[in-house]
Structures are given as C-alpha cells and as structure tokens.
Amino acid sequence: MRFIDTHAHLYDEAFASEEDAAIERAISSGIDRIVFPDIDSQTRDIMFAIADRHQGSVFPCLGLHPTSVGKDWEKEMAAIEGYLSRKIYAIGEIGMDCYWSKEFIREQQEVLRIQLELADKLNLPVIIHSRESTELIINVLKECRHLNLKGVFHAYSGSIETFRELQKLGEWHIGIGGVLTYRKASIAETVREIPLDRILLETDSPYLTPVPFRGKRNESSYIPHIAARLSELTGKSMEEVAQTTTSNAEKLFGI
C-alpha cells in the first residue's frame, strides 16, 4: 500500500539534523510522497533546501500562515514573490486563526483574500488553516466565489453541515490526521458521513501525533495508524483507504 502525507512540517526545528532520516523512515513505511506547507520567511529556505534534496518525494508549497500575519504582513507577502519562480504544488498554509490571537484579524482576512487570488491566478489548490475561525473563512470564501477555488481544510474538525456548505463554495477536501485516533474526537463521528473521495491523510508533523505515539514527536511514517483508524470508522478496507486517499492527493496537488 502507498500513502501520501499531505501536510507535514519536517523542516521544523523539532527535526533539526534529522529531516532526511525522517523522510527515509516515511518512505520505508509506504509514504512515498510528502507535501510541505509553507509557514513564513523564517523557515522557507530550509523547507526548499530539504525539498531539493528529496525531489520526487517532497513537494513544497508557498504561503503565509495566519499566525505569522502581523504588522509586517506586507513585507512577508512581498517575500513570497521572490519564490514564485520555484515549482510549488499549492498555496498554503493559509487561512485564519482566532485561537492564538485576535489582534490582526482584519489583516488575516486581507492576506487570505490575496492568497486565494494568487492560487486562482496560478491554478493551484490551497491548504486552509482554520482554528476558531470557520465562519470568518467561509465569509471570505463567499466573497471570492468568482475564483476557481479548490483545496483542503487542514486538520478538519468541523461538522458535516459545514463540510456540505464548503462544497457550495469550491472543490474542497478535508485533511484527517492524528486527532482521528483520540478518544472522544468529534471528527471520528463526522468522518463516517464524508465521502472517501473528499478525504486526504496528513500528519501535521511534528504536531498532533496519533495513538499509540501520542505525546511524542509526530512524523510522516505514522500515516498508516491514521489510515487504520479511518478504515475502522468507515468500514472501508485499508487497501481502499490507501488507494482512494492517495488518488485524491495526486489529483488535487498534481503529484
């Protein structure tokens, strides 16, 4: 079985000097492709350097994370332009986050609009980060309904009703990760009602580590544990989960 980790930050400092080994472990575990969402100018060069070393296995994206949107957001957005000559596979990780701070909410909305427009211009999918901001993001998507919007809501934790509303605003997948394996995780019930052809597997490494490794650093090689839980909840075989989610990722990201 082959899998794709559609969201991993293996360039994070948590993997300092161990990035290559983590990628090799993933490949040995059947995860032959890994999507790297971008965060901001502080880690971008490291991300691309790792992707260059692992061409064909690592697929970098470009974007400004909402928690990196501050007073200097225009400078951060200008920095992105210098990387547009690179081969990228999505605009992301973008979105809104009202959990950590609400100080720059208006700026987050503006940056999200700009990046949605960029994705449309480049005919690329987007990777959406949404934390305590679903309604705000949906409002922006409604304002941008004239664009050709497609992508994934990373670490989805919303309801089936929200999922259905999103389908009216573009071609949206949901990213399912380690949280699915946690006791009393609400997404465990919601995922039963979501078509498998709209689900992507992800780790969000080094965060959101699945059971039985919860409490430790997450990494892409743990994807099969998430797939196994998805198989259990949906009644689909592991083979079907692997084949369908891999196909979904291939089509969305063009990898």
Q: By C-alpha distance, which of 10, 110, 108 is closest to 58?
A: 10
Domain presence at residue 200: yes
Domain presence at residue 62: yes
Determine the pLDDT at residue 188.
Answer: 96
Q: Are 252 and 150 in contact (CB under 8 A)?
A: yes
Going by their DSSP bridges, the two strands 199-201 and 31-36 should be labelled as: unpaired
Instruction: Count how many Cα atoms sit within 13 Å of the Cα of residue 18 in the half-sphere of its side chain.
Output: 14
Q: Are 130 and 88 in contact (CB under 8 A)?
A: no
Domain presence at residue 243: yes
N-to-C CA span, the chain? 17
Determine the pLDDT at residue 100.
Answer: 84
Please give the tally of structural domains in the chain.
1
- pLDDT of the chain, 255 residues: tens digit per residue: 999 999 999 999 999 999 999 999 999 999 999 999 999 999 999 999 999 999 999 999 999 999 999 999 999 999 999 999 999 999 999 999 999 888 999 999 999 999 999 999 999 999 999 999 999 999 999 999 999 999 999 999 999 999 999 999 999 999 999 999 999 999 999 999 999 999 999 999 999 999 999 999 999 999 999 999 999 999 999 999 999 999 999 999 999
The shares of helix, strand and coil residues in the chain, as percent rounded to the nearest 5, are 45, 15, 40
Domain presence at residue 72: yes
CA distance 255 to 6: 11
CATH of the domain at 128: 3.20.20.140
Full domain range(s) for residue 36: 8-213+228-253
Give the global pTM: 0.97
